[in-house]
């Protein structure tokens, strides 16, 4: 969104889980701030979910201006105005985001390409999930080239091991680890 001139700030809803930590640390990318609630009327773009039950506290009073998702569509929230809504039958929201970049004629810089690549790997289990599509495969291939990642196998193994790890997590954190 910043590439398109919008004043957007990424937030996590909770502290990052092991897989996310591995990705951010591996690419020396700063951790986004955690924001568990949103103020009434504040603009909000939902990414990788569209269900209020998985969203930040206050979503119902926020100004939802966009959704980018690859899950089933929740019919449990309303907006006052039309919004940008992009939902595709693909294995990863990062595939959608990469396609938006391409449609806008924007080539992601290597660090953004690394994050998108890692997101596709993590979401699709390296294209092994039944939800993986040809679009995910094409995006992954193009992002490998753009990211400068030299050892895809090593990255894939690292992400997989980290996602399967619950080291240092409480029982509650483990239980809540895939809540949006």
Give the pLDDT band (50/70/90) at residue 175. Answer: confident
Q: What is the pTM of this model?
A: 0.89
pLDDT of residue 41: 92
Quick: pLDDT tens for 64-88. 999 999 998 887 778 888 999 999 9
Report CA torsion sign: 37, 43, 48, 51: positive
Spatial contact of 50 and 72, defined as CB atoms under 8 Å apart: no
Residue 104 tokens, joined: 């806008």
pLDDT of residue 170: 81
Quick: pLDDT tens for 5-25. 888 999 998 888 889 999 999
Quick: pLDDT tens for 95-143. 999 999 999 999 999 999 999 999 999 999 999 999 999 999 999 999 9
CA 48 to chain centroid: 6
Q: What is the DSSP string of 65-127?
A: EEEEE-SPPP-----SS--EEEE-SSS-HHHHHHHHHHHTT-PPPHHHHHHHHHHHHHHHTTT
């Amino acid at each position: 969104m910043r590439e398109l001139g919008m004043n957007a700030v990424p937030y996590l809803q909770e502290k990052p889980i092991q897989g996310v930590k591995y990705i951010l640390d591996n690419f020396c990318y700063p951790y986004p701030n955690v924001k568990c609630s949103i103020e009434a009327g504040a603009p909000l773009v939902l990414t990788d979910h569209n269900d209020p039950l998985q969203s930040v506290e206050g979503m119902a009073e926020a100004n939802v201006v966009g959704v980018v998702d690859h899950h089933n569509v929740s019919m449990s929230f309303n907006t006052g105005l039309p919004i940008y809504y992009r939902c595709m039958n693909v294995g990863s929201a990062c595939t959608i985001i990469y396609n938006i970049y391409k449609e806008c004629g924007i080539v992601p810089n290597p660090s953004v390409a690394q994050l998108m690549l890692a997101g596709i790997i993590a979401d699709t289990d390296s294209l092994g999930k039944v939800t993986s599509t040809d679009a995910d495969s094409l995006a992954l291939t193009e992002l490998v080239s753009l990211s400068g990642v030299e050892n895809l196998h090593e990255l894939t193994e690292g992400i997989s091991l980290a996602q399967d790890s619950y080291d240092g997590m409480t029982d509650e954190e483990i239980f809540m680890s895939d809540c949006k």
